[in-house]
Structure formats: C-alpha cells, structure tokens
Structure 1
Amino acid sequence: MASVGKAMKVLEAFDKSASTLGLSDIAIRTGLGRSASQRFIYTLERLGYLDRDEQTKRYSLSRKVFRFAQNAVSANAGLDAAYPAMRELAERTRETISWVEVDGAEIVIIATVPSTHISSVNLPVGTRFPALSSSSGQMLLAHSAPSHVEKIWAISHPSVAQRTKAANAAEMVRILEAAKATGFAVTEKNMEQGSISVSAPVHDRAGRAIGAINLSTLTTRYDREAALRDLAPLVAQAALQTTEALVS
C-alpha cells in the first residue's frame, strides 16, 4: 500500500505549472528522496505511464494516463444524463457550461461545453477551485452535514474566507443553507476579466447531490443582477431536467 501511495505521488507531481520534470524536481516535489524517486520513475516508465525525453532527460506523463480519465468520464452516469441539458443550455446562452463534482475541499471540472463567444471563460477539464468559494462547490456542500462543512472550512485555502466574507465555519454553513433554499448559487471572480459563475445541483435517486451544472460568463455581458434574472433560472432548469432523467 505504501508503494502504491508513493507511485501516485510521483504521478501527481506533474501539473499545469510543471508538465516536464527532472529526477531532482520529482524528488523535491514528492519528498521521496532521489534514490526512491528514481526507482518509482523507472517502474512507471517501464509500465508506460511516464515518457522520458532522451535529449533533456526530463519526464512527462504519457498518453496512457488519459485512459484513467476516459474510463472515469465514460462511467459517469451523472455526466451522461447531464450532457443533453448542458448542450441545450450552451446553445441557448452561448456561455461556457460545465459538469462539476466536489473532491474534498475542491471542485473539479469533469466536462465542459465551451462558449462560442470570442471572449469567454475557459475551464479545461481537470481544473480545480476551492469548493466553498465557488458556486458549484457551495451547491454541492450545501447538501452536506454542518460537521462536514466545518471540516472542509478547516482545510480550505485562506482565500475562501476573503471571497465568501464568512468569518467562521458557522457563517459559512448559513451561506450554504441560503444557497440550498434558493436552489442555485452565484459567485463572482476577478480573473483577467471579471467573471460570474452560476450553478445548480443534480441529485440521484437517493437524493444525493452528485454534481452540479455550472454556467460561467463575463461581467462585461452579465452583471450579478442580470445573471440572477436571466441565467440562474435556465441553469436551475437544466439541473432539474438532469435530475429527472437520472431518477426516471
């Protein structure tokens, strides 16, 4: 079990900021040490999960790794049910539409229908954000027990408190309860351009919130008031349509 965990550490060392790494880089990022890192790199390369550039001697994730993502997506019943509603919502609004799931204190973009606008929010598959300060995360965690929200608050990035204006976990719980009662959440983010995110939850037969449909747009097209008026009802309807497809 320990060896499996260390091997995963090596694979997880590669990210957007470091798509190629040398042996020393991997040893530092994983904390495994140079000798142990070399052994795991050798095994993962032999298995086909790492590629080695013969000129630079640097490693990168191989295309074989995509099998995991492909299998996870193809077996995702929620996404399968949501995709027709996502496509319809994208065609109607021309905005970026995503299927989002929560992973601990973060949300993960599982699938995206890109916007047709020249200027839009780009959300590549695999992108992660702090859950409590994102509209999708708020909707998914709103259906969790307060004790779970408190745990997520404790391990969340400091930016969560700044963005949500919540002083403590109890206030965060109240924010989530309000979002749950509304049926959707709207958050704003200052990126290169200001953006607005609108999300609504999708439930399975047991009533669990298994994912969220998210619409992301720019504040140059919609301010918060316009997003609440024009976009939130459409996102909520898409999520309801998906839930009905799952439970029927």
Structure 2
Amino acid sequence: MAPPPTKTEMAPLATAEDALPTPPGIDERLFVASVAKAMKVLEAFDRTSTNLSLSDIAIRTGLGRSASQRFIYTLERLGYLDRDEPTKRYALSRKVFRFAHQAASSNIGLEAAYPAMRELAEQTRETISWVEVDGAEIVIIATVPSTHISSVNLPVGTRFPALSSSSGQMLLAHSAPSHVEKVWAASHPSVPQRTKAANAAEMMRILETVKGIGFAVTEKNMEQGSISVSAPVHDRAGRAIGAINLSTLTTRYDRASAIRDLAPVVARAALKATETLIS
C-alpha cells in the first residue's frame, strides 16, 4: 500500500470544478454527495480499462484532479483499490469481489434457474447465462461456459444495451410503456440502428412481438458473429425478474436454425426455472 502523499505531492483542496450535478429526483437533505463521488471513481474501471492513472480517473469521472486524488487515496486505504508503485496506476482490488459474491449468493432467481441452466448447457454445449436488467443495460449475473473450442465468452459483469439484446427485449417486454420510453431515451446511440426502431413506439411494437412468442433472438457482430436467444423467468407475482440466455456463434447456427432448434429448449429451461421459483 502506498505511503500517504507529502505536502508537496498533495493536490489542492476541492474547487467548484470538482462538484458533480445532483441527479434529478434526489432529496438533497439525505443525499451524501461524497459517497456518489467515491462510487463514480470505482465505476471508472471497466473491462477495457482495468488499470488507470490519476489523470485517467479525473477525466473519466469529471471530478477534477484534486478530488480524484483524495477519493483514490481513501479507497486505496480502505482496500478497494490497488496501486502499482512502478507505474503509479490503480486497479480494483480483490476486496471488490466480496460485493459480487454476496449479490450472486442472495439472488433467488439465479438460485432457482441455475439447475435448468446447467441442464441446458449440457444439452446444447453453448454459453448459458443468467441476465438481469439494470437501467438501460443488461448485466450478466452468472454464466455456464460453452464446452466448444470456439464460443461466446460472457464474463460475469458484462453489460450490453438492453433494448438491442435478446434478454433485455424479453425482460422489458413485460414493463410498462412509460418505463420503456425512459429506457429508450437513456439507451446507447447504437440501439435504433441495431433494432431498426426509429422511436420508442416502434420499439414497443417489437417488444410486444417477442412477449407474444415467449422468446427473443438477436444477432451481434463481435470478434465472430453471434446469435443470442433468451426467455424470461417469472416470480410468484408474474414479474419477469431475469432471463436465461443462450449465446452461440453464427458458424453453428443461423437465425432460422436458432429459432427452430434453440429457442424451444431455452423457453423450456426458463419455464422450468419459473416453476422452481414459484413452487
């Protein structure tokens, strides 16, 4: 762990540029802005940027160099950031995994779905994931890897725009239109192009279609072309709380064969998980 900065190394006290705007709908009497800023520092790290300098973090968070330095120092002292002395770059520490483990181990939807996911993985040999919606994105909560040499890799924590993903479409299809409009407004600019929907109304028609058939299928152009098939898992109240997703490569299935051969088994796995959850 790095020693505390000396007086000559320390950045100046916070300035107006370090302040972040308060999110809408927030009660400022209860909102602790410093906690929000600390979380923003942690959220600066992602799959493509696992090691960041002080300057990188200041730019990514918009906090300014002085505030970033203080939050980095605090988070490092608490054990949530690691510092590489030769490069003076920072990374999330192993302590952060504590939260991921606790979130996954207390997820009753995942607990109910996992046996069906394992069975589906054995049956198809494809990548099977438990997916949930987080705002305008989906997040991979758990994955059973494919046994194929070439396969889709979906590490836990991976995120995609919800409306252009099969899991997101399947889950948002069970949401109120007003919520879908909010998600559309907050979505990544790639969503209209990928979904071919020009506005929220057209997107809702797409969602109504997938809701009616009980599964959704989307295609992605990553390192290799891939196809994603998803079906929802419901709780006792009938809410779609998560989706079972199967991801495969277009070298093994095209869209038509994925709908014919994969969608029915994914839908059965989701139904089995739902029955386990509500039993």
User: Within 2, Cα distance between the matches of 1:139 and 1:175?
Assistant: 10
Letter of the 1:225 partner, please give it: A
Q: TM-score, normalised by structure 1?
A: 0.98
Letter of the 1:11 partner, please give it: L
| Structure 2 unaligned residues grouped into runs of 5+ | 1-31
Corresponding position: 1:112 with 2:143: yes
- The answer to which of 21-30 and 76-85 deviates more is 21-30
Alignment partner of 1:173 out of 204, 207, 217:
204
Corresponding position: 1:29 with 2:60: yes
Alignment partner of 1:193 out of 224, 227, 231:
224
1:1-248 to structure 2, matched below 5 A, reads 1-248=32-279
Deviation at residue 114 of structure 1 after TM alignment: 0.6
Q: Deviations over 1:84-115 (max 9, x none)?
A: 00000000000000000000110001110011
Letter of the 1:216 partner, please give it: S
SS at match of 1:239: helix
Letter of the 2:44 partner, please give it: A
User: Within 2, Cα distance between the matches of 1:38 and 1:192?
Assistant: 37
- The answer to which of 48-57 and 202-211 deviates more is 48-57
Q: Deviations over 1:147-203 (max 9, x none)?
A: 111111111112111111111111100100010010000111122221111000000
User: Within 1, Cα distance between the matches of 2:108 and 2:73?
Assistant: 36
Deviation at residue 59 of structure 1 after TM alignment: 1.1
SS at match of 1:45: helix
Q: TM-score, normalised by structure 2?
A: 0.87
Deviation at residue 20 of structure 1 after TM alignment: 1.2
| Structure 1 unaligned residues grouped into runs of 5+ | none
- The alignment of Structure 1 onto Structure 2 pairs a total of residues equal to 248
Q: Deviations over 1:36-61 (max 9, x none)?
A: 11111111111110111122111111
User: Within 2, Cα distance between the matches of 1:194 and 1:76?
Assistant: 31
Letter of the 1:173 partner, please give it: M
User: Within 2, Cα distance between the matches of 1:217 and 1:233?
Assistant: 15
- The answer to which of 69-78 and 190-199 deviates more is 190-199
Structure number with the higher helix fraction is 1
User: Within 1, Cα distance between the matches of 2:59 and 2:214?
Assistant: 44
SS at match of 2:236: coil
User: Within 1, Cα distance between the matches of 2:71 and 2:100?
Assistant: 22
Identity across the alignment (%): 86
